[in-house]
A and B are shown apart, each in its own frame.
Chain A
Amino acid sequence: MTTKQTVKVTVNGIAYERQVEPRLTLVDFLRHELHLGGTHVGCEHGVCGTCNILVDGKAVRSCLMLAVQVDGESLTTVEGLRNRDTGDLHPIQQAFVDEHGLQCGFCTPGFLMTTLELLRDNPNPSEADIKDALGGNLCRCTGYEAIMKSVRLAAKRVQEGQDIGLTHTD
């Protein structure tokens, strides 16, 4: 019934191979099989957005995917944001620090990954664009205003020439 299947996947530029049950969700795979705990588990049914990661460059809910579905794919998680060579925070992370875009930090990995997709595709987002993008992420601490400020600051820095590309290649 639950024959294990092989999953070969690249996460933040590193190749992994694991044998998993088909019913294992992608977020549980990241946390329990690959020990990448940065991606958080919130509602587990696609509402809160804290488990957002990039699959093939697109932001998705990792609780709404199975690990077996990413066999052969390339993923980016929050662990992939920090600069590998210098250890510096990613410009989006730094903007969240500078504008106090988090309190408890539980929702933050999802907001960061959502913002990464937003600013990569649209470096000059309007207020409506930002609200639309962040609409799929819940935060229970900040009241969102500080998160909005963080994204605006990150966008400003991208426009001023900061690169939000990642140092690993995948």
Chain B
Amino acid sequence: MKPAPFDYYSPDTLEEAVALLAKLENEDLDAKILAGGQSLMPMLSLRLARPDALVDLRKIGALDYIREDGDTIAIGAMTSKSAAEDSDVIRTRQPLFHEATLLVGHRQIRNRGTVGGSFAHAEPTAEYGAAAMVLGMDMKVVGPNGERIVPAKDFYVTYLTADIDSTEILTEVRLPVLKKGTGWSFQEMSRRQGDHALAGAAVTLRLVGGVCKDVCIAVFGVNASPTRLAEAEAFITGKAATEDNAREAGRVGADGLEEPMSDVHATAQYRRGLIATLVARCLVEAASRAS
């Protein structure tokens, strides 16, 4: 057996799970939440993670839902990514989130991997990070002291770390539907389809009188956490999304980045160049979809 030994719990309700996490914390035991396990299982098998206990949320059916709440879509944390992929509500009302979902791994991974698990894991190359930042998503976190809502901009702390305490559980993510007329784009580069992205970008914007307004640009796979590119947003705002303007906005955005990650797959310099290109392509595509 490859993983180090651990105790396994599968509580039936959220209340039981929260109480269990508090109990394990009191006993000074390191507990990890098992949602879909598509990132945690490799970490266990490689013994990069050696928790004392796993708390599996699989029996908590109350966390598996996709609901429309006016102009918001609420997704339960234990909803599988393939359920999000197959959801007509998400595909038609928030196509950017749908596109981001399609880019996560392979169907066999999405069948098992959960929406909440991906957010809570806060992997720098996760597509959902950039989606959260451009859409202004909210995360619902439940712990011993009740629930709190964390906006995306405060949610990501650093590598593999989100603003969730060891006794708290991410229970729901909330995303606004795409406003009528808003253009969007989500693009990434990976060595093979389904691989971790080397980097990627997400854009939403409106066109008013032929020029860009309300521009949101976020990138992922570059720094420890997904990042909004405020300088690029400011540059393109009030300008037409021509190829030249988009390319310059991409360059401005890439130049303003903190030093990107560097690894065997891509150097920091390559990632910076990639961001410039992807942001430019996203701006042009988003503008073509705006009305």
Contacts and interface: CB of A to CB of B under 8 A. Distances in A.
B107 A69 contact: no
B263 interface: no
Contacts of B41: 25, 45-46, 63-66
Contacts of B34: 66, 69
Interface centre among A21, A66, A131 (most CB of B within 10 A): A66
A65 B1 contact: no
Interface centre among B7, B46, B82, B192 (most CB of A within 10 A): B7
A60 interface: yes
Contacts of B45: 25, 44-45, 63
Contacts of B56: 68-69
A114 B193 CA distance: 16
Nearest to B54: A22
A161 B42 CA distance: 40
B151 interface: no
A8 B50 CA distance: 26
A23 B5 contact: yes
Nearest to B9: A22
A122 B43 CA distance: 33
A60 B108 contact: yes
A131 B193 CA distance: 9
Contact of B37 (A2, A44, A59, A69): A69
Interface centre among A23, A55, A59 (most CB of B within 10 A): A23
Given A22-B54, A52-B108, A136-B105, A44 B2 contact: yes
Nearest to A28: B1
Tier of interface size on chain A: 20 to 34
Contacts of B111: 58-60
A136 B38 CA distance: 13
Nearest to B37: A64
B144 interface: no
A23 B34 CA distance: 13
Interface in A42-86: 44-46, 49, 52, 55, 58-61, 63-66, 68-69, 71
B1 A21 contact: yes
A64 B109 CA distance: 9
A103 interface: no
B67 interface: no
Contacts of B3: 23, 25
Given A46-B42, A60-B112, A65-B37, A117 B107 contact: yes
A104 interface: no
22 contacts: A1-B6, A2-B5, A24-B1, A25-B1, A25-B2, A25-B3, A45-B46, A58-B111, A59-B107, A60-B111, A60-B112, A61-B38, A64-B38, A66-B8, A66-B37, A66-B41, A68-B56, A69-B10, A117-B107, A135-B192, A135-B194, A136-B105
3 smallest A-B Cβ distances: which pairs? Answer: A136-B106, A22-B8, A45-B42
Interface of A: 1-3, 5, 21-25, 28, 44-46, 49, 52, 55, 58-61, 63-66, 68-69, 71, 114, 117, 131-133, 135-136
